[in-house]
Amino acid sequence: MFLTKRFYIILACLTLLAGFGYVFPQLFMGAKILLLIFAVLVVVDAVMLYHRRGITAKRTCSERFSNGDKNVVKINLESQYSFPVRLTVIDEAPEVFQRRDISYPSHLAERGRNVIRYTLTPVKRGTYSFGRIRCFARTITGLVERRYTFGSAEDVKVYPSYLMLNRYEFLAMSNNLTEMGIKRIRRVGNNTEFEQIKDYVQGDDYRTINWKASARRNQLMVNVYRDERSQQIFSVIDKGRVMQQSFRGMTLLDYSINASLVLSYVAMHRDDKAGLITFADKMDTFIAPSRRTGQMQNLLEALYAQETDFGESDFSGLCANVHKQVSKRSLFIVYTNFSGMTALNRQLAYLKLLSQWHRVLVVFFEDAEMNDYIHSPKHSTEEYYQHVIAEKFAYEKRLIVSTLRQHGIYSVLTTPDKLSVDVINKYLEMKQRQILT
């Protein structure tokens, strides 16, 4: 049994009133009567709460959480009391959230029900442990509380952002991908690619007539299209120390994992095959590209346990392993980060070698906080110097893009929060221009 704050306030007031009774004797008798009434109310309050087990509570949430997204947790409350009760509900959330405010007031009518909803936003993959649910029940009088404890420890796995994937899937079904920033790309040939020009025969679609060729040959000629060939798309994720930099609580690795998962989904629905490679000092994950039904689940499970490494990434080992395991020309989308031209020059030879065998798209990151600082006002000589240094770093990022382009390597320079949209738009642009092969 717990005594409430209201109990102590009333008791303090009665004690003060009794103290004044030594100066004003008529108050002393009144204080004793009120104290007796107060004691009776406390006993009645306790009996009402403890005469039966009147509260039940149950936590319901998804078996797995989506990293970087708001995940809903529900607490279902039910009362068996024959009178209204007020509750304070405390849910023991995983320690990693450092939440000390998961305490919710609630009111249950006579034999009533209620649902408490709150959200948790994880910023790291792994296993999170919930504790128990504590409910403190009190009557309208509110002098005594009864504590109820429900449930047991519960583990929830945090996976890469599958909620983002679900949003893309829903918008794709409703043809509203532009709401996510995905550009609408006009595709020539109705999902087919040009193969040859041939003589017109009866039954050919007149819309495929090639008028320039017809004029040269002085007879009708038509374009022949064939179904687009399926391309192999590899998401190549660097797990070295450069990917440990964080933005809004999430590392660049986690942003890359979320983006690669969404890109794989889009690629598979564009009739391409999606695969995965992760590497640091060595290549440790390789999933062959496929369009099979279970491929997305394979990618999700493989990405779940990926962690960054404090060492340097070995691009030379990546090239050697790719040359052994991938024979068909493919598109390699490399998620990495370069702090400046010196960092690029260390890996440029290997990227050039990789681009001789495959199409390479290098995805690296702008420092959003540094960009905000560059555009902030300057008030002193020291701040002018600091802005010049920050602008030099920003310039080197743009110079990296130019250098990669000079060597025939495509690139995307983006901020972490825009990563998924920018990468998908670049993929769609390359596919529309038929430069994936």
Confidence at residue 99, expressed as pLDDT on a 0 to 100 scale: 73
Cα distance between residue 379 and residue 369, in whole Å: 19
Query: What pLDDT, on the 0 to 100 scale, is given for residue 404?
Result: 93
Secondary element (H or E) of residue 225: strand 221-227
Residues 411, 366: Cα–Cα separation, whole Å: 12
Q: Which domains does the chain have, with CATH numbers?
A: 1-159 (2.60.40.10), 162-186+229-432 (3.40.50.410), 192-227 (no CATH)
> How far apart are alpha carbons 263 and 279 in whole angstroms?
19
pLDDT in tens, the chain (437 residues): 788 899 999 999 988 988 888 888 778 888 889 999 999 999 999 999 988 888 999 999 988 888 888 899 999 999 999 999 999 999 988 888 877 767 899 999 998 999 999 999 888 888 889 989 999 999 998 899 999 999 888 899 888 877 666 665 544 444 445 544 555 544 444 445 566 788 888 777 778 888 888 988 888 888 876 545 678 999 999 998 888 888 888 889 999 999 999 899 888 888 889 999 999 888 889 999 998 888 988 998 888 888 887 778 889 999 999 989 998 889 999 999 988 888 899 999 999 999 999 999 999 998 877 777 777 888 788 878 888 888 888 888 899 999 999 999 999 999 888 888 889 888 888 887 777 66
129 three-state secondary structure: strand
Residues 219-262: pLDDT tens digits? Answer: 888 887 654 567 899 999 999 888 888 888 888 999 999 999 98
Q: Are 193 and 179 in contact (CB under 8 A)?
A: no
Alpha helices in 270-340 (DSSP H): 295-304, 315-325
Q: Tokens in use for 215? A: 């004029």
Q: Which residues contact 151 (CB under 8 A, 6 or more apart)?
A: 57, 58, 59, 130, 132, 133
**Under a CB-based contact definition with an 8 Å cutoff, are residues 217 and 197 in contact?**
no
Output b/e per residue, 367-391; b: 16+ Cβ within 10 A. beeebeebeeeeeeeeeeeebeebe
Q: How many residues does the chain have?
A: 437
Rounded to 5°, the CA angle 306-309-312 comes to: 135
Q: 28 in helix, strand or coil?
A: helix
